[in-house]
Amino acid sequence: MAKESQADQLRTSFRGPLFTKRDTGYDDARKLYNGMIDKHPSIIAQCVDVADVIAAVNLGRDSGLPIAIRGGGHSGPGLGSIDDGLVIDLGRMKGIRVDPKARTVHVQGGCTWGDVDHATHPFGLAAPGGFVSTTGVAGLTLGGGIGYLSRSVGLTVDSLISADIVLADGRFVTASEKENKDLFWAIRGGGGNFGVVTSFEFRLHQVNSVYGGPMLWPIDQSREIMKKWRDYVLKAPEEISGWFGMMIVPPAAPFPEEFHLKKMCTIVWCDRGNGDQVKKRFTNIQKEFGKPAIDFTGPIPWPALQTLFDDLLAPGLQWYWKSDFIKEITDEAIDLHVKHGEKIPTTLSTVHFYPINGAVHKVGKKDTSFGYRDANFVQMIGAIDPDPSNNDRMISWARNYFDEVHPYSAGGSYINMTMDSDQEQVRLAYRDNYERLVTVKDKYDPLNLFHINLNIKPSESKEGVAKKHR
């Protein structure tokens, strides 16, 4: 019952709810977004303020309990939790303060992108999140952050002004261009390796209603549509973005019944331009790409675009995913994508290609720790289904697909969209920025207290000490 006494010790300085295996509510508290992952932590500490986070970090460090940090709980491999360890869960820290004059927002570490959109939309402003609203701000931001606004304003980290962080030694610091610059560089891509981020400050952008939504074509047109999309997004104005995907049409409204369960390809658009300019652009797109079989595009409020896929992707589904950064999608690679796209194994399984050119390329390769400023696309292969008995089949589809197309990639995976966390993968994800990340890790977390992530290990000697310590 050592864990019970550690929980009792934490209770003396902790305000939020604490759960151990004996507590009612433990099973709910430990649930993760990915239904494939089932972890049993010793203590789940649901922090309500910075003082709680400091108390939890101190307990983990001094007791030797391994620590996982949980923001929105969406990590594919379940890195927001840990068996037999301490989960520092920020899910109750949902404070948000918008400053409409300065066009900034402070967001606590437990918010989702839906929380942020709700708070900023009344001011006609938005921070660049991803493609759904339920993902945690914390994990998405710390890995870089790719979304509809990437081409026009950059990655999520490119709008990050500062972050408040509880370090491994329990100190509370702010990282920005002015303070702890090395730490600020590292957290813009380096994941949860350096401390627990309790609050983020973002620059906001004028985004109220956009023009966008999905267009769908029959799967036998995917080769042609994918080529047109590739050529289009490489030269389109930065204010428009659109990701390409292959999918099975869900058997539900608003999809017309005749297309239910049909394999199709899609482009989901988001255009920040205004009025006549956008109308003209979409008339041209229709001409260039050919009339879609289903067309949902139109004016749409930003939060509505962000929530379009939330209901389809409810928590608890089985998820397995692979990703690659890509510089160039060759015609030869397109043939392979079409071959595997046509074999999508379950209704929710899918493959997406997100453009990350435009504004993402305006930030230097070494200005943040994000490893692939020179890539034009991120490919995400998602094997998704409610039924665990389909896991073997869909995982084998994802792996075969990935193995065949990986040679056409830029070499590494996006840390936020992979199940692989071995050291080789981490090095490939950060490329030339890896060694500098190790230097920052040595300074701020030399004992590798925060290692449940795509782990930047401290340098050899320090890692040896860390192992002894744990």
Ligand X SMILES: Cc1cc2nc3c(=O)[nH]c(=O)nc-3n(C[C@H](O)[C@H](O)[C@H](O)COP(=O)(O)OP(=O)(O)OC[C@H]3O[C@@H](n4cnc5c(N)ncnc54)[C@H](O)[C@@H]3O)c2cc1C
> Judged by CB under 6 A, how many residues of this single chain contact ligand X?
36
Touching ligand X, residues 291-330 (CB under 6 A): 313
- The alpha carbon of residue 440 and the mean position of all alpha carbons in its chain are separated, in whole angstroms, by 23
Minimum distance from CB of 376 to ligand X (Å)? 16
Touching ligand X, residues 195-214 (CB under 6 A): 196-197
Touching ligand X, residues 370-429 (CB under 6 A): 416-417
Q: Which of 10, 54, 56, 69 binds ligand X (CB under 6 A)?
A: 69
Contacts of 280 (CB under 8 A, 6+ apart): none
Minimum distance from CB of 214 to ligand X (Å)? 15
Is residue 355 a contact residue for ligand X (CB under 6 A)? no
Q: Which of 42, 306, 453, 455 binds ligand X (CB under 6 A)?
A: 453
Q: Is 88 helix (H, G, I), strand (E, B) or coil?
A: strand
Cis preceding linkage at 254, omega within 30: yes
105, HSE (Cβ side, Cα atoms, 13 Å): 29
Minimum distance from CB of 106 to ligand X (Å)? 14
Minimum distance from CB of 194 to ligand X (Å)? 8
Write out the H or E segment, with its range, that includes residue 354.
Answer: strand 350-355
* DSSP sequence for 106-142: EEETT-BHHHHHHHHGGGTEE----SSSSSBHHHHHH
Per-position x/- string for 250-289, each x denoting binding to ligand X as judged by CB under 6 A, each - no binding: ----------------------------------------
- Of 76-84, 260-268, 281-289, 338-346, the window that binds ligand X (rule: CB under 6 A) is 76-84
Minimum distance from CB of 226 to ligand X (Å)? 20
Neighbours of 299 (CB within 10 A): 12
Residue 372: burial class (beta carbons within 10 Å; 0-12, 13-18, 19+): buried
Which lies closer to ligand X via its Cβ, residue 144 or residue 341? Answer: 144
Please state, in angstroms and as integers, the Cα–Cα distance from residue 443 to each residue in 196, 462, 469, following that order: 15, 10, 17
Gap between the Cα atoms of 376 and 361, Å rounded:
9
Minimum distance from CB of 197 to ligand X (Å)? 4
Which one-letter DSSP state was computed for residue 221?
Answer: G
Q: Which of 30, 74, 205, 272 binds ligand X (CB under 6 A)?
A: 74
Is residue 85 a contact residue for ligand X (CB under 6 A)? no
Q: At residue 283, what are phi and psi to the nearest 5 degrees?
A: -65, -45
Is residue 458 a contact residue for ligand X (CB under 6 A)? no
Which lies closer to ligand X via its Cβ, residue 109 or residue 214? Answer: 109
Residue with smallest beta-carbon separation from ligand X:
139
Gap between the Cα atoms of 401 and 396, Å rounded:
8
Gap between the Cα atoms of 354 and 377, Å rounded:
5
Count of all residues that appear for the chain in the document: 470
- For 130-262, strand residue ranges (E) read 160-166, 172-176, 196-203, 205-206, 209-218, 240-248
Q: Are 378 and 195 in contact (CB under 8 A)?
A: no
The residues facing 380 across adjacent strands are 323, 352
Minimum distance from CB of 143 to ligand X (Å)? 6
Touching ligand X, residues 130-189 (CB under 6 A): 130-132, 135-136, 138-140, 142-143, 145-147
Q: Which of 192, 213, 242, 371 binds ligand X (CB under 6 A)?
A: 192
Per-position x/- string for 17-56, each x denoting binding to ligand X as judged by CB under 6 A, each - no binding: ----------------x-----------------------
Touching ligand X, residues 100-119 (CB under 6 A): 109
Place of tokens 């990282």: 175
Contact residues: ligand X, CB under 6 A: 33, 68-76, 79-80, 90, 109, 130-132, 135-136, 138-140, 142-143, 145-147, 191-192, 196-197, 313, 416-417, 452-453
